Structure 1
Amino acid sequence: MDPLEPWPETVRWQSVSRNLIWVEAVRLGITVLVILVGLGVGLALTGHWLFGLGIGLLVGLTLWELVVIARAVRAWGYAERDHDLLVRHGLLVRRLSIVPYARMQFVDVTAGPLERAFGLATVQLHTAAAASDARVPGLPPAEASRLRDRLTALGEDRAEGL
């Protein structure tokens, strides 16, 4: 395996839901709207050209970020193997986390209001070493529950064998 190509080709990767793009886009939209209102008020009160420039830059950066969000969501994936779970993500900096089932302490499933609105949940794996924790966002709730139950069962089985 080439260290510059961290996604093993022999693994059957599961992708996350494309609805995660909408969740991230709405989060971005809320932030941009707040900043845009502030810049708009500044422009209306002062008429200074820098506020107009700020609005233009904000719109351009928002469009760029929407492209990045779509590509970043497509980069997320996970794979269940016999002894560990692989989680991959990242565009510029690719990250591959390998979490052995025997090292898992507990598994969380969370879903904030925005995730619930789009029918998504996040599975968070916790290990003794905080640096080795991994998360899989953008899963349908049924898949998140199935993955949580499977990882918990496999973790218990592997821990008994230690």
Structure 2
Amino acid sequence: MTDSQTNPPQEPMPGTDHGPAQSPVLDEGTYTGIREPRGAGRLALDGHWHQISPRYVVSQLVQNLVFIAVVAIAAGVLSAIIGEMWVWIPAGVVILITLLTLAILPRQAKAIGYMLRADDIVFRKGILWQRMIAVPYGRMQLVDITHGPLDRAFGVSQLKMVTAAATTGVQIPGLSQAAAEALRDTLIEVAETRRTGL
């Protein structure tokens, strides 16, 4: 069985030339294949992409439907108070944009991924406007896990990495709690190893 696109399930321990050891928890309950742009101009890396949980899409769907309901109720109340129907125009535009965003959300979620390499973690998102950010392990100053009430209800978290340069900070949404904690521990361990080696 040969597959030059993926790494073996277990990698060497932190500090080696091949990158940090990766927990199997990172791939539990996630999408199985990252959606990448087609064509010769796409950015490609050798390695294993870890993806986010499909529950992220459900969480975002519920949060946005709540937002749409709040906008509709506010527009209805305001329209009844002032007796004008024009308030539904901006409310309708906001609701339409939100619905369009929700329509492409599943495709966007499947394009989100991160790769643990020897010297850095690479985060990628987007299909039309593809963005890749590489954050060197030794430059990380803070690794933070956050989750709101609805995120907790669906079991997803967001992991944020902060570096000295604000432009290289990365937020990885849609991780399961176990994956977020495993990734945080891995990044902290590798970052400490790299800093002591400087």
Given the two structures, how large is their TM-score scaled by the length of structure 2?
0.71
Matched, 1:128 2:161: no
Matched, 1:39 2:101: no
Rounded Cα–Cα distance in structure 1 between residues aligned with 2:122 and 2:52: 13
Q: Residue 50 of structure 2 aligns with which residue?
A: 14
Matched, 1:26 2:62: yes
**Alignment match of 1:5 (pick from 42, 63, 67):** 42
User: Which stretch of the first structure deviates more once superposed, 86-95 or 36-45?
Assistant: 36-45
- Cα distance change, pair 41–130 in 1 and its aligned pair in 2 (3 A): same
Q: Which amino acid aligns with 1:5?
A: R
Greater fraction helix: 1
Gaps of 5+ in 1: none
Aligned-residue Cα RMSD (Å) equals 2.3
- Cα distance change, pair 61–110 in 1 and its aligned pair in 2 (3 A): closer
Rounded Cα–Cα distance in structure 2 between residues aligned with 1:61 and 1:156: 43
- Tell me the percent identity: 34
Q: Which amino acid aligns with 2:46?
A: T
Q: Which amino acid aligns with 2:131?
A: R
Q: How far has the Cα of 1:58 moved from its partner?
A: 5.5
- Cα distance change, pair 151–51 in 1 and its aligned pair in 2 (3 A): same
Rounded Cα–Cα distance in structure 2 between residues aligned with 1:102 and 1:3: 32
Q: Residue 148 of structure 1 aligns with which residue?
A: 184
- Cα distance change, pair 113–52 in 1 and its aligned pair in 2 (3 A): closer
Matched, 1:139 2:194: no
5 Å matches for 1:67-146?
Answer: 67-146=103-182
Q: Which amino acid aligns with 2:120?
A: D
